[in-house]
A = this chain, B = another copy of it.
């Protein structure tokens, strides 16, 4: 079983709902089978709309998606990013209907997994079951940190904070090895995320760029000095709970 850890490649990780869980071959086959209905979404297309009662659970395979709401004034605040390996909709049954929408931020591949297939998995693989149950609780701490960031941190810190969180999450899921990673956001979308207006976002980006901590160009962010950036953003990676994920990975690996 421990062998799985060395065997698995980026793909296995990326396809893993729980992130950081190592799958046995059987589990992987089970999951691949479940995720057979993969659909493509262009940038700006809604994947799920507010008010829907989706029959499927959604697993992001490729690209970025965002949870957002449409406000009366036309504003579209972004409340979360979903990157490959992130799952959503597990709890929609409980909640009856979506209270927000999810759209593709970059061209996306999303697996639609019927709810009964999920139930089926839950019965068959303890490992996958755990992975599936871990996923939603891990979103909550991130949401809380965003709330703190948006409400209580200076604007330049908000951006810097995002530039710390996303590479860590990308790394955790095997999307990047070095300090460069996909960040397919327009300045508008930065604004929707941080609660700022485009123009001011841009100015803050300028100021930040001046410090030489990172470079942002054509949809990629290169972090030159992660420690410096984390210090500036007052970023404490604790809320991502990646350490405990790794611990659980080890646990699962040895079972």
Contacts and interface: CB of A to CB of B under 8 A. Distances in A.
Which 3 pairs from chain A and chain B are nearest by CB? A151-B195, A96-B244, A150-B151
Contacts of A145: 99
Interface string A174-195: 0000000000000000000011
A136 interface: yes
B144 A100 contact: yes
A197 to B, nearest CB: 11
Interface in A60-111: 67, 69, 71-72, 75, 77, 79-80, 91, 94-97, 99-100
* Interface size range of chain A in the complex: 35 or more
A234 B72 contact: yes
Interface stretch (A112-120, A200-208, A235-243): A235-243
Interface of A: 67, 69, 71-72, 75, 77, 79-80, 91, 94-97, 99-100, 133-134, 136-141, 143-148, 150-153, 194-195, 234, 238-239, 241, 243-244, 247
Given A71-B234, A79-B147, A95-B138, 16 more contacts: A69-B144, A69-B148, A79-B144, A94-B138, A95-B141, A95-B244, A96-B243, A99-B141, A99-B145, A99-B241, A136-B137, A140-B140, A143-B144, A146-B147, A147-B150, A150-B150
Contacts of A144: 67, 69, 79-80, 99-100, 143
A93 B77 CA distance: 32
B138 A140 contact: no
Given A72-B234, A137-B94, A140-B139, A195 B239 contact: no
Contacts of A71: 148, 152-153, 234
The dominant DSSP class at the A interface is helix
A95 B241 contact: yes
A75 B137 contact: no
Given A94-B134, A96-B244, A241-B95, A77 B148 contact: yes
A147 B96 contact: no
Contacts of A140: 91, 136, 139-140, 143
A218 B249 CA distance: 51
22 contacts: A71-B153, A72-B234, A77-B151, A77-B152, A79-B144, A94-B133, A95-B138, A95-B241, A95-B244, A97-B244, A136-B137, A136-B140, A139-B140, A143-B143, A143-B144, A143-B147, A146-B147, A150-B150, A150-B195, A151-B194, A151-B195, A152-B195
